[in-house]
């Protein structure tokens, strides 16, 4: 599913640069991301375990709202990022996390609990490894942007088409490509977050706090998106469906 936030930084920060402000900035982004994952997990568990609610959502046209509403919120946040206040951006983020939880409830209804846990842990390993590499590498990853954007659009488009075709072969191909694309995006986004921080560190104190706060949320949105899609792709590839 979803978006990419283009780099706003003016350049590539070479080497591993220790900076207390940068550490605080990245910690804030990961805190938002972790909070979003917890909200999504709680909503998904609640929806999946309330049979009438699950039937109402996934047994009626409301399921299309559950599928496409998160993408709509992400795109809105991306295009209106500069004009949205911190408060509204935060509300959009938590709203997105809740809607993603509704969408993810379908996975809990289809796959076994063991498969969900295994896919989550596998996604976490891949995500953390690529995030660490993206943060520490001296290689400029900005050249990946075109490839990753094309891959992202392709994965989104093919996933939407497969909602109607329900092709197992297409699903497998999309999932394999998706793992590669979202792993790459994780590394690219981590480097972008670092570059954005240094690019905006010269602003005045008040404006800088607001800018960094909004960048934290948008960074968290990008990282959340990468992780949740890694999880879904791995679950589609290796997950065991419930019997009956």
pLDDT value of residue 6: 41
Q: Can you tell me which residue has the tokens 């935060």?
A: 90
Instruction: Render pLDDT for 22-69 as a digit per residue (tens, 0 to 9).
Output: 888 899 999 999 999 999 999 999 999 999 999 999 999 999 988 889
Domain that holds residue 84: 20-238
pLDDT value of residue 200: 76
Instruction: Render pLDDT for 207-218 as a digit per residue (tens, 0 to 9).
Output: 445 577 888 999
Residue 15 lies in a domain: no
pLDDT, mean over the chain: 86
Return left, alpha or beta for 2; rule: phi > 0 is left, psi -120 to 50 is alpha, else beta: left
Residue 165 lies in a domain: yes
SS3 128: helix
Q: CA 230 to CA 202: how far, in whole Å?
A: 35
Number of domains in the chain: 1
SS3 11: coil
Dmax over CA atoms of the chain, in Å, equals 60
- Asked if the model's pLDDT at residue 151 lies above 50, the reply is yes
pLDDT value of residue 41: 96
Residue 11 lies in a domain: no
- Asked if the model's pLDDT at residue 92 lies above 80, the reply is yes
Residue 6 lies in a domain: no
β-sheet bridge partners, residue 14: none
């Amino acid at each position: 599913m979803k978006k990419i936030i283009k780099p706003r930084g003016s350049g590539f920060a070479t080497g591993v640069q220790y900076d207390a402000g940068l550490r605080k900035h990245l910690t804030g982004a990961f805190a938002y991301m972790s909070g979003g994952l917890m909200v999504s997990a709680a909503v998904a568990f609640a929806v999946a375990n309330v049979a009438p609610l699950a039937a109402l959502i996934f047994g009626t046209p409301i399921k299309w709202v559950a599928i496409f509403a998160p993408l709509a919120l992400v795109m809105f946040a991306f295009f209106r990022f500069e004009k949205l206040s911190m408060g509204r951006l935060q509300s959009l983020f938590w709203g997105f996390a809740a809607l993603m939880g509704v969408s993810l409830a379908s996975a809990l209804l289809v796959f076994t609990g063991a498969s969900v846990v295994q896919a989550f842990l596998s996604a976490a390993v891949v995500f953390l490894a690529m995030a660490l590499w993206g943060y520490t590498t001296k290689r400029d990853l900005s050249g990946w942007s075109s490839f990753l954007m094309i891959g992202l659009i392709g994965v989104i488009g093919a996933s939407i088409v497969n909602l109607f075709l329900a092709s197992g072969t297409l699903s497998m191909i999309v999932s394999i490509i998706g793992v590669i694309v979202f792993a790459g995006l994780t590394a690219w986004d981590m480097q972008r977050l670092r570059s954005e921080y240094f690019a905006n560190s010269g602003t005045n104190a008040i404006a800088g706090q607001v800018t960094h706060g909004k960048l934290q949320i948008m960074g968290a949105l990008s990282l959340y998106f990468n992780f949740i899609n890694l999880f879904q792709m791995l679950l589609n590839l290796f997950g065991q469906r419930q019997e009956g």
